[in-house]
Amino acid sequence: MKGWHGRILWVDLSRGKTWIQKLDPETYRDYIGGRGLAVKILWDHLKPGIDPLSPYNLLVIAVGPLSGLPLPSSGKLVVASKSPLTNGYGDGNIGTMASVHLRKAGYDAVVIRGAARKPVYLYIEDDRVEIRDAEHLWGLDTFETEDKLVREHGRNIGTLLIGPAGEHMVRYATVISLKGRSGGRPGMGAVMGSKKLKAIVVKGTREPGLAEPGELRRLSEAAYKEILGKENYDFWIRQGTMATIVWAQENSVLPTMNFREGVWDYYETISGDLMEKLKINRRGCPYCNMQCGNVVVDIDALESELDYENVAMFGSNILLDDLRRVAAINRLADQLGLDTISMGNSLGFIMEASEKGLIRERVEWGDYKTVRELVIDTAYRRGLGSFLAEGVMRMSRWLGGNAEDFAIHVKGLEASAYDCHVAPGMALAYGTSPIGAHHKDAWLIGLEVKMDRFAYNREKVEKLIYLQRIRGGMFESLTTCRLPWVEVGLNLDYYPKMLTAATGVTYTLDEIFEVADRIYALIRAFWIREYDGWSRYVDYPPMRWFKHPLTKGPFAGSKLDLDKYGRMLDMYYEMRGWDKRGVPRRETLKKLKLDYTIPVLEEIVGLQ
């Protein structure tokens, strides 16, 4: 096989054993890599119904056939597991040198099971795999850990590591690399912590075998060149995703006061223009020529890397109107290994709970000092922080009353930074995302603001599925960054061609879409197998958007319509070949070569 290694590295931390699993070419053809490989491994090997924080859970680190190769923005990999936040399928996509080194070390994935008795880290150098003592790293933040590992092993390594939040199993702790890249929003860092696994260090020294290296080089050079020549390249380099603050305000989707409103009078205090004035550098993932990490100096005179999501969640959503303070909270989240989106949501939720008198503690909107303390306490699970560490779904259920009305999540994963009071298509994107309310699979809002905002129609559903196929299917399985296509408009045709050149297997875009549909249906089957009490209502967005209309901005008085949303969800299910409960139909599973899921689903829900 070319393009793939055909080798999965297994590590059992309980028994201190490692071994290689060989996979057949057909599996690679049908699942490609990254997310596709990860969900296949989880379906095949995870014992159904296990506690995600128990040693029985599996942590999968997977690259794809294009990851870590010298082509645009390829330095990415997927971290996946059964999520401690949602109890369903969870994954994230992280920019890291570990992607490059894993390819060179000769593995398509690393699967970790069991749990060590004492803190350990995994050291992989080509065929040498060792579980090493990590007592000296446990308790350190992610920046300190990275520095120490670099001192011990030199600069030529890739790292994936956790901070105190992962060690304390905060349900939305992430995996961090390169001091600022974060992946695995649904608690992949907590899974690492539950296994007492502080870090993974990878060093690979061999070149991955490719089917047509010359053709791949030619395509890569052309793609790099095309990116540099794009019209909005210069603006992207200046602001990256931070340009979205002004755009979100103009389109009334900027999350404000725990997603109560879509506009904020003080949006300029956190805008991309202001960020440009504070910017001192930019950073990014390996092999990227459009690096989007905006480095600014924060209120503590330390460096922080800003993205739209982070700034909106720690800015407008909790009414913190000072970008340097927002930057400090963002940097703390990176150091501690906390997901910024879920942390920002949890803070917004607790502020609203305090305002409504549902908790004893006073947590005022925009109170920087309290926010800072709470973020640190969350990572260490101290006091109120221990409550915040559970995420908004669990907090709202515990508080009871009407608290679920202002808990902003889908299936337990807190929503990314787009208010959906007047965006039914984006609400459906959150509702049907394979990991919960995340925008990565379909940023439909970008198209929806140019359409009839109030429409619940077929066109939006078709576009949603199209985006899910490209973003959630293709990019997550290749596995490379999608931003060259999304943000500067790199031609999509490069990707099937590059995949074909790497693997020697001819793929068209349509064939990749078929793989994407297979991955989606398998992730859905996984959810149904693992989720206690599956029903179509787990595909509904937060109730706030149906119940409480906006009071400010051009769409004041507007909210989502429950019946119309239900009809749009039916359209989505029908187009995917799923029944009205959101369960893939028997013939759909057969068509997608997922026959092996049929007996399991038949027993749990009965198939139509």
User: What is the contact surface with ligand PTT in residues (CB under 6 A)?
Assistant: 76, 92-95, 174, 180-185, 241, 285, 305, 307-310, 333-334, 338-341, 440, 475-476, 481-483
- Cα–Cα distance, 577 to 316 (Å, whole number): 39
Question: Using the rule CB under 6 A, is 388 a contact of ligand SF4?
Answer: no
State the binding partner of 94 from ligand SF4, ligand PTT, none, CB within 5 to 8 A by kind.
Answer: ligand PTT
What would you measure as the largest C-alpha separation in the chain, in angstroms? 66
Q: How far is the CB of 240 from ligand PTT (least distance, A)?
A: 8
Indicate the pairing of strand 7-12 with strand 109-113: parallel
Nearer to ligand SF4, 283 or 585 (CB): 283
Question: Using the rule CB under 6 A, is 519 a contact of ligand SF4?
Answer: no
- Cα–Cα distance, 80 to 96 (Å, whole number): 15
Nearer to ligand SF4, 285 or 522 (CB): 285
Q: How far is the CB of 438 from ligand PTT (least distance, A)?
A: 7
Nearer to ligand PTT, 285 or 408 (CB): 285
- Give the DSSP H or E segment for 173: none
Report cis status (omega within 30 of 0) of the bond before 479. Answer: yes
- Cα–Cα distance, 508 to 486 (Å, whole number): 20
Task: Kindly tell me the burial class for residue 493, based on how many C-beta atoms sit within 10 Å of its own C-beta (0-12, 13-18, 19 or more).
Answer: exposed
Which residue of 100, 483, 505, 515 would you call a contact of ligand SF4, by CB under 6 A?
483
- Whole-angstrom CA distances from 269 to 265, 266, 279, 320, 418 are 9, 6, 15, 9, 18
Question: Using the rule CB under 6 A, is 248 a contact of ligand SF4?
Answer: no
Question: Using the rule CB under 6 A, is 285 a contact of ligand SF4?
Answer: yes
Question: Using the rule CB under 6 A, is 481 a contact of ligand SF4?
Answer: yes
Q: How far is the CB of 45 from ligand PTT (least distance, A)?
A: 22
CB neighbours of 317 closer than 8 A, spacing ≥ 6?
A: 255, 256, 257, 258, 259, 344, 345, 347, 348, 417
Nearer to ligand SF4, 57 or 480 (CB): 480
Question: Using the rule CB under 6 A, is 344 a contact of ligand SF4?
Answer: no
Question: Using the rule CB under 6 A, is 295 a contact of ligand SF4?
Answer: no
- Cα–Cα distance, 130 to 143 (Å, whole number): 23
3-state secondary structure of 37: helix
State the binding partner of 339 from ligand PTT, ligand SF4, none, CB within 5 to 8 A by kind.
Answer: ligand PTT
Stretch in the footprint of ligand SF4 (CB under 6 A) among 268-276, 289-297, 322-330, 523-531? 289-297
How is residue 341 written in tokens?
A: 């989106």
CB 82 within 8 A of CB 532: no
Q: How far is the CB of 216 from ligand SF4 (least distance, A)?
A: 18
Nearer to ligand SF4, 104 or 440 (CB): 440
Chain position whose Cβ is nearest to ligand SF4 = 284
CB 52 within 8 A of CB 87: yes
Q: How long, in residues, is the chain?
A: 608
Nearer to ligand SF4, 293 or 496 (CB): 293
Chain position whose Cβ is nearest to ligand PTT = 92
CB 42 within 8 A of CB 80: yes
- Cα–Cα distance, 40 to 523 (Å, whole number): 9
- Cα–Cα distance, 121 to 161 (Å, whole number): 9
Stretch in the footprint of ligand SF4 (CB under 6 A) among 165-173, 280-288, 381-389, 397-405? 280-288
Nearer to ligand PTT, 87 or 96 (CB): 96
Q: Which conformational region is residue 151 in: left (phi greater than 0), alpha (psi within -120 to 50 degrees), or beta?
A: alpha
State the binding partner of 291 from ligand PTT, ligand SF4, none, CB within 5 to 8 A by kind.
Answer: ligand SF4
- Cα–Cα distance, 351 to 354 (Å, whole number): 5
Which residue of 18, 291, 457, 558 would you call a contact of ligand SF4, by CB under 6 A?
291
Q: How far is the CB of 293 from ligand SF4 (least distance, A)?
A: 6
3-state secondary structure of 251: coil
State the binding partner of 346 from ligand SF4, ligand PTT, none, CB within 5 to 8 A by kind.
Answer: none
State the binding partner of 196 from ligand PTT, ligand SF4, none, CB within 5 to 8 A by kind.
Answer: none
- Give the DSSP H or E segment for 458: helix 458-467
Which residue of 23, 78, 190, 292 would you call a contact of ligand SF4, by CB under 6 A?
292
Number of C-alpha atoms within 13 angstroms, CB side, residue 75? Answer: 22
3-state secondary structure of 401: coil
**Sites for ligand SF4 among residues 56-85 (CB under 6 A):** 73
- Cα–Cα distance, 213 to 97 (Å, whole number): 21
State the binding partner of 284 from ligand SF4, ligand PTT, none, CB within 5 to 8 A by kind.
Answer: ligand SF4
How is residue 303 written in tokens?
A: 């460096």
Q: What single letter denotes the amino acid at residue 334?
A: D
- Cα–Cα distance, 214 to 368 (Å, whole number): 54
State the binding partner of 334 from ligand PTT, ligand SF4, none, CB within 5 to 8 A by kind.
Answer: ligand PTT
Q: How far is the CB of 417 from ligand PTT (least distance, A)?
A: 8
Q: How far is the CB of 570 from ligand PTT (least distance, A)?
A: 28
Stretch in the footprint of ligand SF4 (CB under 6 A) among 269-277, 285-293, 323-331, 415-423? 285-293
Task: Kindly tell me the burial class for residue 80, based on how many C-beta atoms sit within 10 Å of its own C-beta (0-12, 13-18, 19 or more).
Answer: buried
Nearer to ligand SF4, 192 or 288 (CB): 288
Nearer to ligand PTT, 146 or 476 (CB): 476
What track of x and - describes contact with ligand SF4 for positions 28 through 57 (by CB under 6 A)? ------------------------------
**Sites for ligand SF4 among residues 94-113 (CB under 6 A):** 95
- Cα–Cα distance, 200 to 192 (Å, whole number): 10
How is residue 489 written in tokens?
A: 């408009």
Q: Provide the binding-site residues for ligand SF4, judged by CB under 6 A.
A: 73, 95, 284-285, 288, 290-293, 481, 483
